Amino acid sequence: MIVDLPAEILVAVAQNLEFHQDAFNLARCCRRIYSVLFPHIFTTIQSRCPCLGELSQIVHYIIQHPQCAINQTQFCSRMGSLKCEPATLLKALQTICHSEEEKLQWLNDLQDGMAYHPWVALLLVLLPRLQSLELKFEYSSTIEYTSEILDRAIRRQKPFDVQVPFPSLKEVRISWWDTQGGVDPSNALPFFCLPEMRRFYGHMIVGDISQEDNSLDLSSGFSNINEIDLKLSNCDTGFSYLVRACSRLESFSYLHADGIVGGPDGFNPQVFYPPLYCHRDSLRKLKLLFDRDAGHCYCGYPKEDLFFGSLAEFSVLTEIDLRSPNIMSWEDERKEVLKLPLTEILPSSVEILSLEDTSPSQLDSLVPQLEAVIRNKRTFFPSLSNLSIEGDFHKQPQINFREWSWGLVRPPRRVIEPEFIDRTQNLRVLCQAMDVDFCLWDRHCKEPKYRIYSRPIPDTTLQRR
């Protein structure tokens, strides 16, 4: 019987259940299982859609069993439906609210069941050991309560006048799950003020924060966050305020999107350089690309191919993932004469260099520059171990769309054209001689065997083909 299983097996079963409620139900089977699972299953809350009813039950359970809150380290919330016991909720609201009017309004919004943020804000106060938080916003989400709680945490106002605000919170993910629009980055600023915060992830973050718009008196370098990862986002100032807010940024990743998100059209890599330059002594990983999930098409925006800037002074930068046009420094728009060779642009600390969005016409100018880098590896780039070039290197297959749509034929596989393989032959030979892994690939050629490597692929499954 399950009750006789070893404790390790019971814990493994509970941790692999898809829904948190199932773990609750398993723990309530008997006294032994409850005593075994209690320290383990109350470490993560994941509330999936539809979840408002589940979220409200979790709040009630933690209020009635405060010992459970001690072990909570993660929380993931999404939209959903409701349980509401006024007496139980008022007990918690009494320790949070600043006035009787606020308490009654909050209770009314909880009972109303039209938004989940009043529940999320209440739960944030109830979880003192929270380490990971994920918030997903939609147009219908009212975030006033969550924002107010975070603002009070920064200002050390009730209930944080008697308890340290989020002393263990290290990771926050903010997402936007509508098809258009985006999250204002001001919603992220309070998390940058928390002392233990280290990683911030954003999905569809649009715009930036100006010092004039910021009600908090904060100077540059006030945040301990060292990793920023922004996907499907848009900003024409390079998220300057958020980047400068970090005292020691080690990783910055930005995937740009146009059209479906708010903000200005067009990608300008140069606006990211000044704020990131402030972290030239600490930045280890840099990624600036288009977000392929946004279905970006090359619309020829005038600034998207501008030179990002020299990375030579970024003394600890090891991973670079940029668009090929943004790492080439040309004298003028004709792109005939280089202002700086690539050997003077890359940092000596580089280990992994990934260049994407390479057009066939750019390959002729890029390959000689990369060959010079590889030749000077031992002198200037001793740690370089991986080089990859991505671009449109396939031949568009001829498809009979009528037959294809009827399922009569399978579309032909796209492969890299031999022309581009030949044009990188010398570079591949150099990489092999200098012990650098080289990969020429095309994202439209899905299978790994259509990537051209400088050495045999270790995957035995490819060899069996």
| DSSP annotation string for 63-98 | HH-GGGGGG--EEE---------HHHHHHHHTTT-S
Q: pLDDT for 143-188, tens place per residue?
A: 678 888 888 988 889 999 888 888 888 999 998 877 677 888 888 8
* pTM recorded for the entire structure: 0.84
Q: Return the pLDDT at 54.
A: 67
> Residue 369 falls within a domain, yes or no?
yes
Read off the pLDDT of residues 180-231 as tens digits, 9 standing for 90 and up. 778 888 888 889 988 899 999 999 998 877 655 555 555 678 999 999 999 9
Domain total of the chain: 1
Separation of alpha carbons 38 and 434, rounded Å = 55
Taking the CA atoms of residue 129, residue 282, residue 322 and residue 302 in that order, the dihedral angle to the nearest 10 degrees is 100
Residue 206 domain-assigned (yes or no): no
In a domain, 404, yes or no: yes
Q: Are 258 and 234 in contact (CB under 8 A)?
A: yes
| 175 falls within a domain | no
**Domain for residue 40, yes or no?**
no
pLDDT surpasses 90 at 314 = yes
* Inter-CA distances, 4 with 7, 10, 173, 194, Å: 9, 9, 40, 45
Q: Is residue 124 part of a domain?
A: no
Residue 16 lies in a domain: no
d(CA 212, CA 203): 25
DSSP 210: -
From the centroid of its chain, how far is CA 341?
32
Over range 18-42, report the average pLDDT: 75
The pair of three-digit structure tokens given for residue 216, joined into one six-digit string:
């908090």
Q: What is the mean pLDDT of residues 404-418?
A: 69
- Domain that includes residue 451, residue range: 328-465
The reply to whether 250 falls in a domain is no
